[in-house]
Amino acid sequence: MSNVFNFSAGPAMIPSEVLAQAQAEFTNWQDQHTSVMEVSHRGKLFMELASQSVQDFRKLYRIPDNYQILFLQGGARGQFAAIPMNLLKENGKALYLTSGHWSATAAKEARLFGEIDEINILEQNDELKVGKLDFSDIAEQYDYVHYCPNETISGVEIFDVPNVGDAVLVADMSSNILSREIDISKFGLIYAGAQKNLGPAGITLVIVREDLIGHARKSTPTIWNYEVQKNADSMINTPPTFAWYLCALVFKYLLSIGGLPEVQKRNQAKAELLYQYLDQSDFYRNPVAKQNRSLMNVTFTTGNDELNAKFVAEATAAGLHALKGHKVLGGMRASIYNAMPIQGVEALICFMKKFAEENR
């Protein structure tokens, strides 16, 4: 292993064990003397890989039988449109709970398809905090309620699942999928672009409850229709086979280290270490209330733009890459997804201490 740690928010790190395996079988996959990229997605070997990946993913999240797993394209943004196309009735209404950039962007896209109500659940005083999450009194009138449990840019995570009564809850888990245990049965649909916590860019995972499939609008393009994709095993067109293969390796790897209980334990330990350091520091500040601090994306600032830029430049030179915060927010952001080892967080804190001493 090199001594570079990559804190990129996405595309992000992939477990080094997975990359090593992919490298070892790059030109000779399954003894075919060809790479996985060069075989038919409808051939026996790839079909086996696809079906095994679904089984492994089900096992990781203990997904009930009445949910379908789809591997689609178009990223999370594709789902911003696919969700209303499939779930919003012609004269229906949906509710979007917004807590930052991505949930707001999802709401904006959904407006292309019908009536959308929006409730801002982010309280922005001296810290960023998510307010009450009981919508059971109003949720019933909506075809679905959408929210984003981890706002990647600001590092605001929502750990309690919103109460929407019997309404359909939809979650954009692009940046926290497979990061901790969740009760799938509380959700109607969960989706995630792969490039943060599942694998490389180019593939999008959708977990959807069976009874929500089959109600797409007539005008829904075939590749966006969940029912068509379900019946075609997510292969109505050629899927991104190499991305799918890497996701399949990531699932196997996560199972091999102990599944989500172990993954969650590691993620909590990493985040705790970093937030603890931030809290006792008078040089850096994290703007998020304790109960909403993301396990995946940790934002911090020195409070001074010039100093932030110096931090990012010197950190990069020291092998701590991609710490620059998103352009809408500035400051710094350390993305510490599943694949980031605790040694990366330790190296970051060590650098932060040194930088604070040299620049106070």
Backbone angles phi, psi at 285, to 5 degrees: -140, 135
Judge whether 166 counts as a catalytic residue.
Answer: no
Under rule CB under 6 A, residue 174 binds ligand PLP? yes
Of 82, 60, 84, whose CA–CA distance to 73 is shortest?
A: 82
Complex with ligand PLP: residue 10 or 162, whichever CB lies closer: 10
> Closest distance between ligand PLP and the C-beta of residue 77, in Å?
3
> What string of DSSP letters covers 285-334?
B--B-GGGB-SSEEEEB-S-HHHHHHHHHHHHHTTEE--BPPTTT-SEEE
Residue 222 labelled as part of a binding site: no
Judge whether 29 counts as a catalytic residue.
Answer: no
Question: Which 95-134 positions form the footprint of ligand PLP (CB under 6 A)?
Answer: 102
Residue 237 labelled as part of a binding site: yes
Q: Give me the catalytic one of 29, 56, 102, 324.
A: 102
CA distance 137 to 273: 39
Residue 195 labelled as part of a binding site: yes
Q: Which stretch binds ligand PLP (CB under 6 A): 25-33, 72-80, 115-123, 343-351?
A: 72-80
* Cβ neighbours of residue 276 closer than 8 Å, sequence gap 6 or more: none
CB burial readout 254-282, b (16+ within 10 A) else e: bbeeebbeebbebbeebbebbbebbeebe
Residue 229 labelled as part of a binding site: no
Question: Among 15, 75, 188, 344, which residue interacts with ligand PLP (rule: CB under 6 A)?
Answer: 75
Residue 41, burial from CB neighbour count under 10 angstroms (0-12, 13-18, 19+): middle
Under rule CB under 6 A, residue 155 binds ligand PLP? no
Residue 152 labelled as part of a binding site: yes
Under rule CB under 6 A, residue 220 binds ligand PLP? no
Q: Give me the catalytic one of 56, 172, 244, 324.
A: 172
Question: Among 58, 59, 77, 310, which residue interacts with ligand PLP (rule: CB under 6 A)?
Answer: 77
CA distance 105 to 152: 13
Of 178, 132, 170, 175, whose CA–CA distance to 151 is shortest?
A: 175
Question: Among 6, 53, 98, 175, which residue interacts with ligand PLP (rule: CB under 6 A)?
Answer: 175
Judge whether 59 counts as a catalytic residue.
Answer: no
> Closest distance between ligand PLP and the C-beta of residue 175, in Å?
4
Question: Which 183-212 positions form the footprint of ligand PLP (CB under 6 A)?
Answer: 193, 196
Two tokens at 212? 């929500």
Q: Give me the catalytic one of 29, 56, 143, 196.
A: 196
Which residues here bind ligand PLP, judged by CB under 6 A? Answer: 10, 75-77, 102, 148, 152, 172, 174-175, 193, 196
